Structure 1
Amino acid sequence: MPATQAAELIRKRELSPVTYVDAVLAAIEKTQPTVNAYVTVTADAARAEARAAEQAVMDRQKLGPLHGVPVNIKDLFPTAGVLTTYGSAIHADTVPAEDDVLVSRLKAAGAIMVGKSTTPEFGHNGHTTGPAFGMTRNPWNLDRTAGGSSGGCGAAAAAGLTPIGLGTDGAGSIRLPAAACGVVGLKPTTGLLPYEQTSDSFFNYAVAGPLTRTIADAALMTETIAGPSPLDPWSLGAPRQEPFGARPANLSGTRIGFLSGLGKPADDVAANTQACLKAFEGMGAIVEEAGADIDWMAEQARTMYFGNLNVYFGHHLAEWRDKMDPLLVHWIGLGQGFGTVEFRKAQLARSRLYRSIQKLFERYDFLVSPTLQETAITFDRTKDMTGSWADGWNACVYPFNQTGNPALTVPSGFGRDGLPTALQIVGPWWRDMEVLRVGAALESVRPWAHKRPPLAAGL
């Protein structure tokens, strides 16, 4: 059930928050041995909050927009009184005293946290595996990756183990699992949602964002938690967003640039992408190929990514190396090989990429590409020590972390193997709600939320 529908039914006293939370917890318990979407389940606290939520409804108190709706929180966000491991043995016993600002806003809106969803160690990998918890599996096929690093969020949304989840995205970590699991994932404009957890506030390219089954749920969650925080300088200049429901999507005359040179998709992904482009044209949009001459700075992005991993986590190696994820250790080692000049040149390449994308938006209203170039890969392929960068796994997504543009992934169909494929929709800075409206237009003619994994259909 979408969060928007559940919240409405709860307000009308047609759905009990207690019944709803119990159902979600039962589904989590049933799927933990297979999907493994959670590292911590807060069942007792969730049931207590559900009882309080139900009493608030009966007492006709003022209710928040997510009142009584279960949510999962990626285990990179501090949660007061609840174990927060960051996917690492280093924090196996860490229990924060305070919630992250976004967690606080979700709770203030009435959402009920049912647990902490899995993440690879410190969110470093595009596949959600790790020594601390094992593998998070794709609900569509348990032999395939759920993506990462917000893999627990993506798997939970696909399998019905909460309608909404709070994830993070530093090089595709919301969009990769959303695409792999056949759900919606929004990487907002940098600063639209304050992200207080980054180590470097000013050089940041990571954001927080929603993973949901429907566009309306992603919009509701984004509207609910958007707003500045004094701890995130990027958020201080964020303009107020027009409400998602203020006007319907109108694609007549909308100019869409198809980034045909961004990656080399498999035939089934390419076919589903073309079907989406034709759907846009059927709604009046003008679609053209775009960006053929852009340098997507893949090598420089690796330099910054691995270099930052070394700066942020390299100091743990002396004590914790043997208990850390071998891939993270390997990537930290790669980061140790970069000098200041090489790192600074990579930063300058980021500025060039940003300006190239800005130039495209002088001609186009939105840009689109496949999200992933193939369906979710098998676990044996995730063991390649090049990790997320293997086979161009995140080739289509990382550029928009570097440029800061809002980037939405939505299901585009299914591949030959029966697994989901996905389309990425990118907009100008601060046009997040308009990006979501374009996604809603596609959802209206190519719906996806009613299609559920066989594993979830039996819950």
Structure 2
Amino acid sequence: MELAEALENIERLDPQVSAFTEVWAEEARAARPAGALPLAGVALAVKGPAGIRAHAARRLIAAGAVAVGATSVPGPGSEWMTWGLGAHGPTRNPWRADRTPGGSSAGAAAAVATGMARVATGGDGAGSVRIPAAWCGVFGLKTTNGLLPSPDRTGLASAGLLTRTAEDARPFLHCLLDTNAHANAHTPTHADTGAHTDPPGRRLPLRAVWSPALGFAEVDREVLAVTGAAVARLESAGVVRLSGRDAVLLDPGDAWTAVRAGRPADGAAVRAENDRRLDALFAEADVLLTPATPNRPHGHDGPGAVYSTSLAWAFNLSGHPAASVPAGFTADGCPVGLQLVARRGADAWLLEAAVAAQRRLFTMRP
């Protein structure tokens, strides 16, 4: 996306969407990144008022991306984190203005979905990239915990990226990881002869485990139907081969809360048991598939008693990379995300698995 187009979209759309707290149009127009840089002139949105100083933002800017503004995050004193407060009021879901975009990377997902930025940075401590990606119908990636610098001393939060599609994320992850995801992570197709085997070392179909609820979550029936149908399409297309087993974890909610509160010992037993189960799963499987969220986007008055994080925060505790790809829509027009989880450190591989999956899943644009 050209910088001029992104700035025009911000001027036209943001008064309704309210994805940004600050817009740096004058500074962005004055930027003159060197044409030889890999991301020269790409419109970048950064998460929150301090986002410009984050490691991911600095790496992308060094590669030529131009920061167009700071995106909305939940307002002060909020009882829930799945909404955003921008310069024009609550951030609105691009598909349903009466619903939230998810959070805490609320404005980041809304900006990418509406073409106000080509890429946005996000931080994911309990699904804060994957939830808004799912609810705004875009791609979101949480990197392996500890792979990139993070100011979060608990170790729960890791850097993330949001783009319209998984394929769009390739050059940005390459810059963040300083590794060539294109050359080293070719995605196989049915026409491949076997000379290329990516995700690395694995031909399609990928060995997959489909877990509708991770053994403990209460998932909205329509969300489950949409994601289940998406998995069936991937199996039919030869992208995955389901093992027939489920992934049953202990509910990580209390353990996550204990770690966040500075009492990691209180959650150690649950954390260790879930790590053991996930290690056993990935010893036999390439990818774990789940709904990205148990619910659809909620209204601006809050989520009620439902934990939107329930299928996400287990992987903040375990550290595995996880992504959300658009899977379809509920009957009332709300996007639904399918979560893909891979082995720790397999971030570039996970991106290529997401590319292979998204190519076979029907998606729309707002």
Q: One-letter code of the match for 2:257?
A: R
Structure 1 distance, partners of 2:296, 2:21, is 25
1:249 — aligned with what?
Answer: 188
Report which of the two structures shows the higher radius of gyration computed on alpha carbons: 1
Alignment of 1:320-359 (within 5 A): 343-359=264-280
Whether the aligned pair in 1 keeps the contact of 2:247 and 2:281 (CA below 8 Å) is no
1:101/1:393 Cα in 2 relative to 1: closer, same or farther (>3 Å)? Answer: closer
- The answer (yes or no) to whether the contact 1:163–1:212 under 8 Å persists in 2 is yes
1:114-153 map, 5 Å: 114-120=68-74, 125-130=80-85, 134-153=89-108
Q: Which residue of 2 aligns with 1:105?
A: 59
Q: Deviations over 1:397-425 (max 9, x none)?
A: 11101100010100001111011111000
Aligned to 1:175: 130
Question: Where does residue 15 of structure 2 map in the other structure?
Answer: 33
The aligned residue for residue 365 of structure 2 is: 452
Structure 1 CA distance for aligned equivalents of residues 95 and 140 of structure 2: 17
Deviations 1:284-343 (A, max 9, x none): 3321344454213222223333x25xxxxxxxxxxxxxxxxxxxxxxxxxxxxxxx5xx5
Q: CA deviation at 1:266?
A: 2.4
Residues 27-78 of structure 1 deviation map (CA, whole Å, 9 limit, x = unaligned): 11222222110001011100001xx24xx44xxxxx1221111000001535
Q: Secondary structure at the match of 1:423?
A: strand
Does the 8 Å CA contact 1:128/1:136 hold for their aligned counterparts? yes
Aligned residues of 1:259 and 1:289 also touching (Cα < 8 A)? no
Contact kept in structure 1, 2:71 and 2:86, CA below 8 Å: no
8 Å CA contact retained: 1:136, 1:146: yes
Alignment partner, residue 113 of structure 2: 158
Superposed, 1:260-409 pairs within 5 Å as 260-262=212-214, 263-284=217-238, 285-305=240-260, 307-308=261-262, 343-382=264-303, 384=304, 390-409=305-324
Please tell me whether the aligned partners of residues 16 and 88 of structure 2 are also in contact (alpha carbons under 8 angstroms). no
Cα drift, residue 222 of structure 1 = 1.1
Aligned CA distance change for structure 1 residues 215 and 414 (closer, same or farther; 3 Å): same
The number of residue pairs the alignment matches comes to 349
Aligned to 1:73: 46
**2: CA distance, partners of 1:182 / 1:31:** 17
Task: Within 5 Å, give how 1:10-21 maps onto structure 2.
Answer: 20-21=2-3
Question: In the alignment, does 2:349 pair up with 1:434?
Answer: yes
Give yes or no for contact 1:35–1:137 (8 Å, CA) kept in 2: yes
In structure 2, the residue corresponding to 1:381 is in which secondary structure? Answer: coil
Shift, 1:264, TM fit: 3.1
CA contact (8 A) 1:175 1:185 kept: yes
Q: TM-score, normalised by structure 2?
A: 0.88
Confirm or deny: 8 A CA contact 1:406 1:426 kept in the other structure: yes
Q: Given residue 113 of structure 1, which amino acid in structure 2 is its aligned partner?
A: A
The aligned residue for residue 333 of structure 1 is: none
What per-residue deviation string (whole Å, max 9, x for no partner) do you get for residues 111-141 of structure 1? 0100011112589943223598741110111
Q: CA deviation at 1:213?
A: 0.3
Deviation sequence 1:189-216 (CA, Å, 0-9, x none): 1133322x22x1xx41101111000112
Cα distance, 1:425–1:244 mapped onto 2, change above 3 Å: farther
The answer (yes or no) to whether the contact 1:124–1:149 under 8 Å persists in 2 is no
CA distance 1:161–1:177, change in 2 (3 Å): same
Rounded Cα–Cα distance in structure 1 between residues aligned with 2:289 and 2:47: 27
**1:43 paired residue among 25, 28, 33:** 25
* Counterpart amino acid of residue 408 in structure 1: A
Identity %: 33
Q: Deviations over 1:176-201 (max 9, x none)?
A: 10001000000011133322x22x1x
* Amino acid aligned to 2:138: V
Cα offset, 1:217, TM superposition: 2.0
Distance 1:118 1:39 in 2: 5
Change (3 A) 1:356 1:452: same
Structure (1 or 2) with the greater helix fraction: 1
Contact 2:20 2:86 in 1 (8 A): no
- Native 8 Å contact 2:157 2:316 kept in 1: yes
Per the normalisation by structure 1, the TM-score is: 0.71
* C-alpha contact (below 8 Å) 1:126/1:172 kept by paired residues: no
Gaps of 5+ in 2: 190-202
| Equivalent residue letter for 2:37 | G
Preserved CA contact (<8 Å) 1:71 1:111 = yes
Distance 1:353 1:446 in 2: 30
Question: Equivalents in 2 of 1:351, 1:219: separation in Å?
Answer: 33
Q: Does 1:259 align with 2:259?
A: no
CA distance in 2, matches of 1:400, 1:279: 25
Q: Residues 446, 78 of structure 1: CA spacing in aligned structure 2 closer, same or farther, 3 A cutoff?
A: closer
